[in-house]
Amino acid sequence: MLASVFLCALAATLAVAQNATYDYVIAGAGTAGMLLAVVLSENPDITVCVLEAGGDGRTDTNITVPERRGTIQDTMYDWQFMTSPQPGLYPNGTEGAQPVPRGKVIGGTSAMNWMIHNTDSRVQLDIWESVLNLTGWNWDTLSTAFRESETMYAPATNESQFFKYDPAYHGSSGPIQSIFQRSVLSLFPQYLEPTLLNAGYSIPPDRNDGYAVGAGFLPLAIDPHNYTRSYSGSAYTAVQGRPNLHVLTDARVTGIDWASTSSNITAAGLRYVSDAAISNITQHVVGREVIISAGCIQSSQILELSGVGDPAILNPLGIQTVVNLTNVGEGLRDPPMMNYLPISFGVNTTFTGGEYIQNFIELESARNMLSPADYTAASEWLNSTTHIEGVRDAQLAVFKELWFAEQPLIEMAWQFAVQNVTPYNLIPLSQGNVHINSSDPLAAPVINPNYNRINATINGTEVEWDMWFLAKAAQTYETRLATNSPMNSIITSTDPQYDLPWDQYYEAVYQRTGTSEHLTGGNPMLPLEDGGVVDTQLKVYGTQNVYVVDGSIFPYQPSAHPMGLTYAVAVRAARLMQQSRGGGGLTFTEQLPGSNSSANATAVFPTQPGSLTPSVGTPAPAAYTGGAPGVMCASGSATLAAMLLALAFLA
């Protein structure tokens, strides 16, 4: 370990001593940052250096074996944050504070997460451009970027009688591999699907087509060749020999080095310390462009530590304001989920098949998830509301548009090989912030998603909106399953009891609800006057060359799980940056059938998707065997000779 820390230090020292300058230096080798580096460095003329605070877990089977997902939480691969107390949630002995697991390792949270890999609806992403004025950011450009990130393998057989996989809506040559699960629990085709149809829900063929509403299986980011997690860490493994891509681990970025803080505020690079704390010497990496990809908890921390933020926060901490940008750290959201104890069903039958994860995910509109009376009452409140304290008007406008366009606002996640379902309020109106409260760069920021703090008046009664909507949807859905055929013939009990009086049902949902672990926002891409931190080039307002690329830039909560959109943002950011440098021949074209894309692109997607048929069986260990030919400072993986060789291009 000492040797690797020394080598990291030497690499940086040499780079500085030789007056070397990377084209891009990136803080964070996470979901977005690592994929961004992989795509940017496709162009051999572009040099990229990534600084990652965590280590290299690419051979650790707790990361690579899908069945072990979740086991790296509360380990050295997890930042192990907590939110501040949350008065909108059930106190539960912690004043409502929620754990915030985040990956601290190459791949970031994509090394830790549950690998669900879906896309948003066309309407939802088109709103970015049409309502939020984000020119060039729409479903066409983002779904193109998503497909560029993905290689999708067709399922061996259709997993239900309804599901029809359509290769036109999936990528076929991207670095993130995705599949459908190998074995389906008989609950789904025999009981749940017919019940959902009888209850009036739909089971569309393939929800990557831009029409996301309905029930069915979603892809998982798993490489079928060896049945291992496919994530931005494995994307790096595939290209780690590139001499123009350097990744330094155990390198904790403590701030931006500025070349100029006067009229043209220009970054010179990043400074960092060893995260292993063996050495607290500050080191520096020089770059022409600086990209912050530290995720929605720490990207704003790095900006604030560097003097980009609200002077009211920075001044008391003795941090000189470089860019007065009060929006930094604002707009953090975490959709509330009934995750502590989902809805469960007792049944009088035994199901067959299935495996560790089922991933049957239902995405529904408000109209489909509320009784007609509740939907009408809630719609009346929304219609009559023009401003909500704590919610930006543009965000309220988007929410209304999604509500009335019957876009997905509630998810019902059947994720386990047991009969329970987790309700999830996809797009909460409540939002909070994340800010530093110390100038110590190693101190955790204060994380306040501010759950369940918006009040609404429904039928003359004041309710807490996010929890009301979640509980109403949960009770309606549970009731429909318990009373429709054929589920009603096998259900012996429900928990919570589906026909509890409303107050008791609400209390049950309230007590079981907390984080969905899907935090986004904090550095939204929006016009400055609407609360933006970055513009449509992802450049931080007021700076010449500082960018943010990760889930913190989402201007609005996506209704799909956020990983897919995070990858899409990374790919699109890479393409924009390549194009701004003259393109290097790398441009992209929208090729979806019926597309009305405004993108100007030419990249070709192979006409056939991956053809490998995944086999059912015991998962194989990771294929990666280590021995990085590029510069790696992970424990014992680099040699001085390799590093010096790789650094030669920097001079």
Ligand X SMILES: Cc1cc2nc3c(=O)[nH]c(=O)nc-3n(C[C@H](O)[C@H](O)[C@H](O)COP(=O)(O)OP(=O)(O)OC[C@H]3O[C@@H](n4cnc5c(N)ncnc54)[C@H](O)[C@@H]3O)c2cc1C
Q: What are the residues binding ligand X (CB under 6 A)?
A: 27-33, 51-54, 101-104, 108-110, 112-116, 252-253, 293-296, 298, 302, 517-518, 550-551, 561-564, 566
DSSP 42-53: TSTT--EEEE-S
Burial readout 390-419 (b: 16 or more C-beta within 10 A, e: otherwise): ebbebbbebbbbbbeeebbbbbbbbbbbeb
Q: Which residue has tokens 């400055």? A: 528
Choose between 145 and 377: whose C-beta lies nearer to ligand X: 145
* Residue 20: CB minimum distance to ligand X, A: 20
Choose between 112 and 471: whose C-beta lies nearer to ligand X: 112
* Residue 514: CB minimum distance to ligand X, A: 13
Choose between 96 and 551: whose C-beta lies nearer to ligand X: 551
* Residue 67: CB minimum distance to ligand X, A: 14
* Residue 52: CB minimum distance to ligand X, A: 5
DSSP 369-422: HS-HHHHHHHHHHHHH-S-BTTB-HHHHHHHHHHHHTT---EEEEE-SSSSEEE
Choose between 335 and 496: whose C-beta lies nearer to ligand X: 335
Choose between 55 and 354: whose C-beta lies nearer to ligand X: 55
* Residue 202: CB minimum distance to ligand X, A: 22
Distances from the Cα of 380 to the Cα of 114, 405, 454, angstroms? 37, 15, 16
Choose between 4 and 110: whose C-beta lies nearer to ligand X: 110
Beta bridge partners of 151: 172, 177
* Residue 78: CB minimum distance to ligand X, A: 9
* Residue 503: CB minimum distance to ligand X, A: 32
Burial readout 248-267 (b: 16 or more C-beta within 10 A, e: otherwise): bbbbbbbbbbbeeeeeebbb
The CA distance from 337 to 344, in Å, is 15
Choose between 15 and 463: whose C-beta lies nearer to ligand X: 15
Distances from the Cα of 426 to the Cα of 255, 365, 376, 387, angstroms? 33, 10, 20, 21
User: Which helix (H) or strand (E) segment is 333 a member of?
Assistant: strand 330-333
The residue at minimum Cβ distance from ligand X is: 30
Choose between 33 and 555: whose C-beta lies nearer to ligand X: 33
* Residue 22: CB minimum distance to ligand X, A: 15
What would the two tokens of residue 259 be?
Answer: 């070349």
Cβ neighbours for 622, distance < 8 A, ≥ 6 positions apart = 58, 59, 61, 64, 65, 226, 228
Yes or no: say if 434 and 299 are a contact pair by the CB < 8 Å rule: no
